[in-house]
Amino acid sequence: MDLLEIKGISKIYGSVKALQNIDLTVKQGEWLAIMGPSGSGKTTMMNIIGCMDKPTEGSVILDGTDISKENAKNLTAVRREKIGLIFQQFHLINYLTAVENVMVAQYYHSMPDEAEALRALERVGLLARAKHLPSQLSGGEQQRVCIARALINYPMLVLADEPTGNLDEANENIVLDIFKQLHKDGVTIVVVTHDPEVADEAERTVVLEHGRIARIVYNDAGDDTGKRADKDAGDDTGKRADADAALSDDRSIV
């Protein structure tokens, strides 16, 4: 069954085409990676799937609802009910303890339940650090709190933006192990990354280039030579250059 169905979406910022005519479906329980170089439209894609932005054209159907037509208030509700977000920069509230950061998500979703929040932390191996403030946690630990927070409301879709981008290798492996466990539990995961090692763990990798899907790679059980569906990448190169300049990765500007 398709959880997410993207039909012909485009996103245009002024004269820059960040996404052009993208079609994509994600099945329930699938682990999908979206890959691509800086400026390829990954982040835009993630924002649209995460209900934090709307496409200029096309429709995004999540769990049977077309979220591309909803207003901001309803999008907020969809985010709250169906999506768990994991950020590259963790985005923990620095004056709340680990367990409280998890409880914030419960609070805005329904009812805070400290015991359940503690169990969520236990699942990511952080029970001992539950009462620590983010400033007292390492990067990997912060990312695990972020994951616990994303999972606490049992979302239909977990959306991770460069979840390992700020982590060293040891922590990267811990996070990937958690993802594998989640996948085994049947959680639908979409990971946005530019790290091929992270992408390889997914069942399917969508490679974006210049706002279009360049190819789709299936990573079935270590089989690196899966089917490739090369889609035509590129009609007018001038516009692409523009898009590259404007969308050169945000993290380097800030």
Partner 1 sequence: MFVALLAVAVGATILSGLVTIYYDIPRQMGQEFRSYGANFILTAANGAEGVSEDAFLSSTALIPSEKIVGIAPYRYETVKINEQPFMAAGVDLEGARKASPYWFVSGEWPDAAGSVLIGQEVADMIHLLPGSRFTMTGTGLDGESFSHDFNVSGIVQTGGAEEAFIFMSLNDFSGAIGERADYDVVECSISASEQELEAIGAVISENVADVTPRLVKRVTQSEGIVLTKLQALVFLVTAVVLALTMICVATTMMAVVTERRREIGLKKALGASDRGIVMEFLGEGLALGCLGGILGVFLGFGFAQLIGVNVFNRSISFQPLIVPFTLIASIVATGAACLIPVRSATDVDPAIVLRGE
Partner 2 sequence: MFFRLVKGALFRQKGKMLMVAFTIALGASLATAMLNVMLDVGDKVNRELKTYGANINVIPKEASLLGELYDVDDDSGLTEHYLNESELGSLKTIFWAFNIVDFTPYLNARINVNSRSGGETGVNLVGAWFDKHMDLPTGESLDTGMRNMKNWWDVEGSWISDDDADSAMVGGILAERMGLGVGDTISVSIAGRLQDLNVRGIFNSGSDEDERVYVPLALAQSLIGKQGSVSSIEVSALTTPDNELSRRAAQNPNSLSVKEWETWYCTAYVSAICYQIDEVLTGSVAKPIRQVAESEGAILEKTQLLMLLITVLSLIGSALGISNLVTAGVMERSREIGLLKALGADNAPVSFLVLAEILITGVIGGVAGYFAGLGFAQIIGHSVFGSAIAIKPMVIPIVAILVFIVTVAGSLPSIRLMLSLRPAEVLHGR
**What residues line the site for partner 2 (CB under 8 A)?**
43, 47, 50, 52-53, 72-73, 76-77, 79-81, 83, 85, 87, 89, 91, 93-97, 100, 103-109, 112, 133, 149, 250-251, 253-254
Report the residue from 111, 170, 221, 254 that binds partner 1 according to the rule CB under 8 A.
254
Nearer to partner 2, 217 or 247 (CB): 247
Of 98, 69, 96, 64, nearest to 81 (Cα)? 64
Task: Please say whether the beta carbons of 30 and 66 come within 8 A.
Answer: no
- Within 52-91, the residues that bind partner 1 by CB under 8 A are 89
What is the identity of the amino acid at 107? Y
Of 139, 135, 127, nearest to 102 (Cα)? 127
CB of 47 to partner 2, least distance (A): 4
CB of 192 to partner 1, least distance (A): 16
59-76 burial string, b = 16+ CB within 10 Å, else e? ebbbbeeebbebeeeebe
CB of 161 to partner 2, least distance (A): 8
Look at the alpha carbons of 243, 244, 245, 246 in this order and tell me if their dihedral is positive or negative. positive
CB of 127 to partner 1, least distance (A): 25
Residues that bind partner 1 (CB under 8 A): 89, 166, 251, 254
